[in-house]
C-alpha cells in the first residue's frame, strides 16, 4: 500500500493525477502484460484484449503527461512476439495506425513526442509508415516522450551495439581505451534517454523478458496482478506514489 503525505489527505478524487511534485520518476517503463488472459476471462478472442489495451495506453499517456513524467517507454512488441500466430501479429501491427489515426491530434495538443526503440525496419510497411509519419510530425514537441518499444529485444540491441562498436574500432572511429559505460550507452537504441527510474509490469508476472537489460541496472521495479486492459491512471499513480517512498542507494549506503 502506498503511504500518503499529510498534505495529500484531502486530495480530490477528480484530480487523481496530482502527485507530490518532488521525486516524480522522470522515466517510467511499462511491460504491458495480460491482454490475452483478460480476453480469455471474458470468452473473447485474444485480440480483443489488445484492442482494450490500446484504450489503456491512451489513458496512461494522458496521466503520465499530467504527472510530469518525462519519458514513458511502453513494451509494445518484442522480438520474441513474432512467435505468435500470424493472425494475432497482423492484428497487433494494425494497432499503431488505429491508435495514431485517432490520437495523433491529441498527442500534438499535449506536446507529446513519439519515439521508438527496436528494429522498426522489420515491421510491415504500413506499420512502419504510420510510425515514421507520427515521429516526424511530433519531432519538435518537447513534452512527454512516448517511447514505443516495437520489435524490441534487449539482447539483440546489445549485440548490435557491440557489432557497431567493433566496426568503429576497426575504422579507428572509436578507441578501446575510450570505451566506457557512457559510450556503450550511446550505441543503444535508448541513446539520449535517461535510464528508467521505475519499471511497472502488469498481470502478476515478475520477469524482465528481454526488456532494457542494460538500462534497468538501478531501476525500481513495481509489479501488479492487474491485467493490462484493467490498468488505469489510478494504478499508475499508486505505482508512482510507492516509488516516491523508496530509497534509491545505487549500491551505496
Q: Can you read off the three cell numbers belonging to residue 11?
A: 486530495
Region of 91-99, 109-117, 214-222, 231-239 interacting with ligand FPP (CB under 6 A):
91-99
Q: Does the annotation mark 33 as catalytic?
A: yes
User: Helix-strand-coil percent breakdown of the chain, rounded to 5?
Assistant: 45, 15, 40
Binding mask 32-61 for ligand FPP (x = CB under 6 A): xxxxxx------------x--xx--x----
Q: How far is the CB of 15 from ligand FPP (least distance, A)?
A: 25
Q: Does the annotation mark 151 as catalytic?
A: no
Looking at beta carbons only, is 11 or 37 nearer to ligand FPP?
37
Residue 131 as a binder of ligand FPP (CB under 6 A): the answer is no
Q: Among the residues of the chain, which ranges form H helices? A: 35-41, 46-66, 86-109, 125-137, 154-170, 181-185, 233-245
Q: Give the chain's end-to-end CA distance (angstroms, integer).
A: 25
Contact 162, 176 (CB under 8 A): no
DSSP letter (8 states) at residue 118: S
One of 23, 68, 81, 141 is an active-site residue; which one?
Answer: 81
Looking at beta carbons only, is 56 or 165 nearer to ligand FPP?
56
Show which residues are catalytic.
33, 81
Binding site for ligand FPP (CB under 6 A): 32-37, 50, 53-54, 57, 76, 81, 92, 95-96, 99, 203, 228
Amino acid at each position: 500500500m502506498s503511504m500518503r503525505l499529510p498534505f495529500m489527505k484531502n486530495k480530490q478524487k477528480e484530480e487523481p493525477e496530482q502527485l507530490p511534485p518532488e521525486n516524480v520518476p522522470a522515466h517510467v517503463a511499462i511491460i504491458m502484460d495480460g491482454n490475452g488472459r483478460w480476453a480469455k476471462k471474458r470468452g473473447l478472442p485474444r485480440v480483443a484484449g489488445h484492442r482494450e489495451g490500446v484504450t489503456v495506453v491512451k489513458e496512461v499517456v494522458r496521466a503520465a503527461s499530467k504527472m510530469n513524467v518525462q519519458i514513458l517507454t511502453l513494451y509494445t512488441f518484442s522480438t520474441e512476439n513474432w512467435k505468435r500466430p500470424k493472425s494475432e501479429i497482423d492484428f497487433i501491427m494494425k494497432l499503431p495506425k488505429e491508435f495514431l489515426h485517432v490520437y495523433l491530434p491529441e498527442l500534438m495538443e499535449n506536446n507529446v513526442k513519439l519515439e521508438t526503440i527496436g528494429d522498426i525496419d522489420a515491421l510491415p510497411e504500413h506499420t512502419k509508415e504510420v510510425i515514421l509519419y507520427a515521429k516526424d510530425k511530433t519531432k519538435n514537441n518537447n513534452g512527454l516522450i512516448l517511447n514505443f518499444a516495437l520489435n524490441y529485444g534487449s539482447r539483440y540491441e546489445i549485440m548490435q551495439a557491440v557489432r557497431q562498436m567493433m566496426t568503429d574500432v576497426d575504422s579507428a572511429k572509436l578507441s578501446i581505451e575510450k570505451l566506457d559505460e557512457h559510450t556503450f550507452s550511446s550505441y543503444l537504441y535508448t541513446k539520449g534517454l535517461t535510464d528508467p527510474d521505475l519499471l511497472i509490469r502488469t498481470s502478476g508476472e515478475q520477469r524482465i523478458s528481454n526488456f532494457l537489460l542494460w538500462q534497468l541496472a538501478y531501476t525500481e521495479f513495481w509489479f501488479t496482478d492487474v491485467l493490462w486492459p484493467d490498468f488505469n491512471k489510478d494504478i499508475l499513480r499508486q505505482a508512482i506514489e510507492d516509488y516516491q517512498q523508496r530509497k534509491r542507494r545505487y549500491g551505496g549506503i
